[in-house]
Structure 1
Amino acid sequence: MRFVMRRWTLPLLLAVLGLVIAVREADTGSPGVAAVWLVVFLVFAVGLSPLAFPRSISAAEARRRSADDGRPIVYWRPGCQYCLRLRLRLGPAARRAHWVDIWRDPEGAADVRAVTGGDETVPTVVVAGQSRVNPDPAWLRRQLR
C-alpha cells in the first residue's frame, strides 16, 4: 500500500491543487480561467502518473522477455521528469520496450543500483547486457527498431 501512495502522491497533489485554483477562480467570476487552470493541472497530473507509461512488469520478467526478443529494458519510476521526457520522445515506439517501475519492484531497484553505483538514477536502459543511464531518446528509438 505504501508504494501505491508514493506513486500517486504527486499526481494527486497536482489534481487537488488544480481543483483548488479552479474553485477560487470560479468564485471570482472567471469560469473560463478556472477551466483552463484545471485542465493544465490535470494534464500535468496524468503526465506524471503511472498512466503515462506502458504497463510495468517485474525485472525478472523483463530480463526473460528481453533475452527472448532482444528488446530494451527501461527502468523508471513515477514522477521522474527524465522518465517522462524519455517516454514522450519515444512516442508509440515506447510500447516495444519492457518497462520496470523500480518503486513497484525491489529487484528492479536493485538492478538499477548495481548499474549506477548504488543510487536509483532513472531512466536506466539495458540492451543486450549494456546499460545506459538517462540515455538519449534518439539512441533508444534506434534500439527499438
Structure 2
Amino acid sequence: MLRRWMLPILFLGLGLAAAARQTAQGSPGAAVAPLLLFLLGAVLLSPLMFPKSIGAAEALRRSEADGRPIVYWRPGCRFCLRLRIRLGRHAYRMHWVDIWRDPEGAAAVRAATGGDETVPTVVVAGKPHVNPDPQWVRAQPPS
C-alpha cells in the first residue's frame, strides 16, 4: 500500500521543503507557488486520479460480460497518467487493474509483454495492447 503513495508523498515533501525554504528566506508569499505546484504533482501521480481498481479476475469476468476493455496500470507511471488524462470521462467505461495491488494483474501483464510489467497494457476483446495511443483506446467500442 505504501509503495502506491511513495511518489506522491515525495512530491508533497519536496513542496513543503521548498515552501519552508522560501519562508525562511523571508518570502512567505513566494512559498505558495512551489507548494501548490508540488501539491498538484502529488495529486496527479497519486492513485486518486484513476477510477477504482478491481482485481484481474473480476475485471476479466466483467469484461467478458459487458465487452469493456481492461486497463492494467500502476501508480506513478507517467504513461498510465497520460492515458488516464487523455481518456477523460471515457476512462470510467473501462475496467482498471492496479498491478501493484493485484498479483494476478501483474502476471497477466507479464504474460502479455513477454515477462515485463510494461503498463499501461490495455486488453480489448481478449487481445493485449502495450502502451497504446490514448485516442485509439478511446475509439474502442465495447465488443
Q: With structure 1 as the length reference, what TM-score do the two structures score? A: 0.95
Of 94, 102, 105 in structure 2, the residue corresponding to residue 105 of structure 1 is: 102
1:42 pairs with 2:39: yes
1:90 matched to which residue of 2?
87
The letter of the residue matching 1:74 is V
- Conservation of the 8 A alpha-carbon contact between 1:58 and 1:105: yes
- Conservation of the 8 A alpha-carbon contact between 1:93 and 1:144: no
2:3 matched to which residue of 1?
6
- The offset of 1:75, in angstroms, is 0.1
More helix by share: 1
Of 128, 137, 142 in structure 2, the residue corresponding to residue 140 of structure 1 is: 137
2:65 matched to which residue of 1?
68
- Conservation of the 8 A alpha-carbon contact between 1:97 and 1:144: no
SS in 2 for 1:19: helix
- The offset of 1:31, in angstroms, is 2.0
In 2, Cα distance between equivalents of 1:20 and 1:119: 35
In 1, Cα distance between equivalents of 2:127 and 2:136: 13
2:17 matched to which residue of 1?
20
- The offset of 1:38, in angstroms, is 0.4
2:29 matched to which residue of 1?
32
SS in 1 for 2:31: helix
RMSD: 1.0
1:53 matched to which residue of 2?
50
In 1, Cα distance between equivalents of 2:105 and 2:62: 14
In 2, Cα distance between equivalents of 1:102 and 1:144: 24
In 2, Cα distance between equivalents of 1:97 and 1:31: 44
- The offset of 1:144, in angstroms, is 4.8
- The offset of 1:32, in angstroms, is 2.4
- Conservation of the 8 A alpha-carbon contact between 1:77 and 1:122: yes
The letter of the residue matching 2:140 is Q
The runs of 4+ residues in structure 1 deviating greater than 4 Å are none
Residues 27-72 of structure 1: per-residue CA shift (max 9 Å, x gap): 2122222111001001101111101100000000000110011000
Residues 69-121 of structure 1: per-residue CA shift (max 9 Å, x gap): 10000000000000000000001110110000000000000000000000100
